[in-house]
Amino acid sequence: MNTPPLLLGCAALFWSWQTGQWAVGLAAALAIEAPRIAAARWDLQTADFNRIADLCSVLVMALLAYLYISFGNPRAVTALFEWLPIVLLPLAAAQAWSTSREIDLSVLFRSLRRARRRDPMRLNLGYPYFALWLLGASAANTRTPAFYVAVLVLIAWPLALVRARGFRPLVWAILAAWVAALGYGLHSGLHAGQLWLEGAGLEWFDVEGERTDPVRSRTAIGAIGELKLSERIV
């Protein structure tokens, strides 16, 4: 993997924190980070990666079917994104434990396997898999400021290591803090705008031309009419 040491492991633990699946996340972190200190490697070829990728595709479809039957939409889609890092772990672990630093792009796209190219495109799964951990954690986040802070730390970690040498650390830190504050303000504003739009939408689409209270429901089913059959008093 071309990611900094322990980055993928921390991303897996962050996913565990958000989902509550600590045993699963810890096992995944060990499977990904152990090759950095272990000397053993597998000499896997493209055909081997193709089989592992096909297995992961079958697992994704089976998981989606199970989630759809159990929870229905839209929860099934959200849960699928939540568990994608675990379902695709065999492919990421295969590259981490193999002698190849990159895999052929045709491993991920079956349509490219039939095409024979002189210069095949190759990809290291490190950073795409890192993004997948963050996506899975986002699908299960608890909507707290701690989630946003943790995401900022995980993203700033590799960016700080590849920053241009012409930038002083203090200048880079100030710019990073400014971007973080701007991002927090934007996503908070979008959330507030969504809530306002949901409340105002009821008034905009009122077919009777009356003001609609978003917290109260009224219905008109006709007049009650005369209940007494006689006005006589006995």
pLDDT digits (tens, 9 = 90+) for 156-194: 999 888 877 777 888 888 888 898 888 888 888 888 888
Q: Round to whole Å and give the CA distance between 81 and 136.
A: 5
Given a contact cutoff of 8 angstroms between Cβ atoms, the answer to whether 75 and 132 are in contact is no
Burial label, 20 (beta-carbon count in 10 A; 0-12, 13-18, 19+): exposed
Q: What is the mean pLDDT of residues 76-102?
A: 92
In angstroms, rounded to a whole number, what is the distance separating the alpha carbons of residues 155 and 39?
A: 29
The closest of 122, 136, 125, 130 to 21, measured between CA atoms, is 136
pLDDT tens across 149-161, in order?
Answer: 899 999 999 988 8
Q: What is the pLDDT of residues 193-212, one digit of tens each?
A: 888 887 777 666 654 545 55
Predicted TM-score of the model (pTM): 0.77
How many residues are recorded in the chain?
234
CA 60 to CA 234: how far, in whole Å?
78
